[in-house]
Amino acid sequence: MFSALETQKIYDITIVGGGIVGAASAYKLQLKYPNLKLLLIEKEERLAAHQTGNNSGVIHSGLYYKPVSAKAKNCVDGRKQLVQFAKTYGIKHEVCGKVVVAVNESELPFMDKIFNNGLANNTEGIEKIDANQLKDIEPHVKSIGGIWVPCTGIIDFKGATEKLAELVLAKQSESNIVLGEEVESFIHGSATSLVITNKNKYQTKHLIFCGGLQADRLAKRDHVKLREKVVGFRGDYYNLTEQAKDKVKNLIYPIPNPAFPFLGVHFTRMVNGDVECGPNAVMTFKREGYGKTDFNIKDTLDALTYSGTWNLLFNNSRFAVNEYRRAFSKKLFLKTLQRLIPTLTIDDIEPGRAGVRAMLLKKDGRMEDDFRIAYNGKSIHVLNAPSPAATACLSIADSIIEKAGVYFNLD
């Protein structure tokens, strides 16, 4: 699909990272500046190999995010762009809607808060529904009511990433995408920079880093002043067995616990017809490790010698212990799922895949909540792009291209 490169060529912009944000950035750049010669470098043998290809596959609505934040703006705008892109290019997707479920009255104040967020963020069609209305949508869910979010959907993010990359190459024959090469260093000169991978060297005028789980390391190599550090959190999924798939029609989410920095375990019908349950959230000892016992000494030392990690664990100790227990106990995982669907049994779930999300942690243990993009000399760095970054990728790319136009003197 993608060709090797002539190392003598000088590229206008090199994008490091072949997840959906990197591919979307290349696509939007090539659309606006069709004469630019772009290079995208991905260290894995395929695109979307990490966060993009291992997330829940959900087109998020914009319900949870603080109004006026970059997450809120980019999610709503990006969702609309992504759905249109999927329609135009035949990417598997469905705008099927979801329910956000309240199980007890203590959750109602926070349900009201996220509902009001949704209204402020112009999340189309949302409405509060009672228990009977919710049961009409998801018959097996037990609730006291919730929120109906009709604009939420599901999509093949891998397919979307590959199509974005194909369109870059179709637009400009001098652009290239390289797989299986890891960027090890770069040397900035007065006119161009030299990008050194484990296999080749490339010359480029400018760089855009969309490194995901490696974003902080790439930034520090580029002398970006960054006080925070990326810490990886693994999320394990279970699949509903064939006999239980009919217990979930589309997407079922809990009311998020405001004391916990993740959305909680939910049910997701995937575009291939499977139904996933999860994820939990446990600190991983390997940034790109998807097995429960995966280990990397550098990643582990990075995490465990950082005060932010310990402050996060200390501030959320009860949740952290419960998450680790669930990671190794099917019975405990089932108990969490039964809070929403009480009729599920141990035979209804089977172990599924896992994903790892990059969280930019501050020293006090708080997570950088919003998207964050920085400019440094010849480079633009996407420092923080957690969920809903895949949904928002085309809108995030617009923000990157706007910065590139100014900082790289493209206009």
Question: How many domains does the chain divide into?
Answer: 2
Q: Is residue 211 part of a domain?
A: yes
Specify whether 212 is located in the same domain as 254: no
Specify whether 171 is located in the same domain as 33: yes
Q: pLDDT for 314-340, tens place per residue?
A: 988 888 888 888 889 999 999 999 999
Q: Is residue 3 part of a domain?
A: no
What string of DSSP letters covers 260-292? SSS---EEEE-TTS-EEEE---EE-SSTT--ST
- Distance, CA of 221 to CA of 303 (rounded, Å): 18
Find the mean pLDDT for residues 150-164: 98
Residue 196: which pLDDT band, with cuts at 50, 70 and 90? Answer: very high
Q: Is residue 172 part of a domain?
A: yes
Question: What pLDDT is attached to residue 5?
Answer: 44
Q: Is residue 295 part of a domain?
A: yes
Specify whether 223 is located in the same domain as 240: no
Placement of tokens 């709503």 in the chain: 76
Q: Residue 312's CB: how many other CB atoms inside 10 A?
A: 23
Question: First-to-last CA distance in the chain?
Answer: 31
Specify whether 198 is located in the same domain as 238: no
Chain centroid, CA 148 distance in Å: 23
Contacts of residue 167, Cβ cutoff 8 Å, sequence gap at least 6: 27, 30, 89
Residue 8 has pLDDT above 90, yes or no: no
Specify whether 276 is located in the same domain as 189: no
Q: pLDDT for 92-151, tens place per residue?
A: 999 999 999 999 999 999 999 999 999 999 999 999 999 999 999 999 999 999 999 999
Residue 261: which pLDDT band, with cuts at 50, 70 and 90? Answer: low
Specify whether 280 is located in the same domain as 193: no
Specify whether 168 is located in the same domain as 28: yes
Q: What Cα–Cα distance (Å) separates residue 333 from each residue in 101, 102, 240, 255, 395?
A: 18, 19, 12, 17, 35
- Contact between 56 and 218 (Cβ < 8 Å): no
Residue 6 has pLDDT above 70, yes or no: no
Residue 22 has pLDDT above 90, yes or no: yes
Q: pLDDT for 284-302, tens place per residue?
A: 999 999 999 999 999 999 9
Mean pLDDT, the chain, rounded, equals: 95
Specify whether 312 is located in the same domain as 198: no
Residue 4: which pLDDT band, with cuts at 50, 70 and 90? Answer: very low
Q: Is residue 19 part of a domain?
A: yes
- Contact between 60 and 100 (Cβ < 8 Å): no
254: CATH: 3.30.9
Whole-model pTM: value is 0.95
Chain centroid, CA 102 distance in Å: 25
Beta bridge partners of 155: 93
Question: What pLDDT is attached to residue 7?
Answer: 52
Chain centroid, CA 126 distance in Å: 23
- Contact between 226 and 115 (Cβ < 8 Å): no
Q: Is residue 102 part of a domain?
A: no
- Domain with 30, as residue range(s), is 10-51+158-227+370-407
203: CATH: 3.50.50.60
Specify whether 245 is located in the same domain as 347: yes
Specify whether 348 is located in the same domain as 237: yes
Specify whether 388 is located in the same domain as 314: no
Chain centroid, CA 183 distance in Å: 21
Specify whether 181 is located in the same domain as 220: yes
Question: What pLDDT is attached to residue 1?
Answer: 44
Q: Is residue 309 part of a domain?
A: yes
Task: Kindly state the tokens that stand for 352.
Answer: 């599924």
Q: What percentage of the chain reaches a pLDDT higher than 90? A: 91
Chain centroid, CA 70 distance in Å: 15
Q: Is residue 90 part of a domain?
A: no
Q: What percentage of the chain reaches a pLDDT higher than 70? A: 98
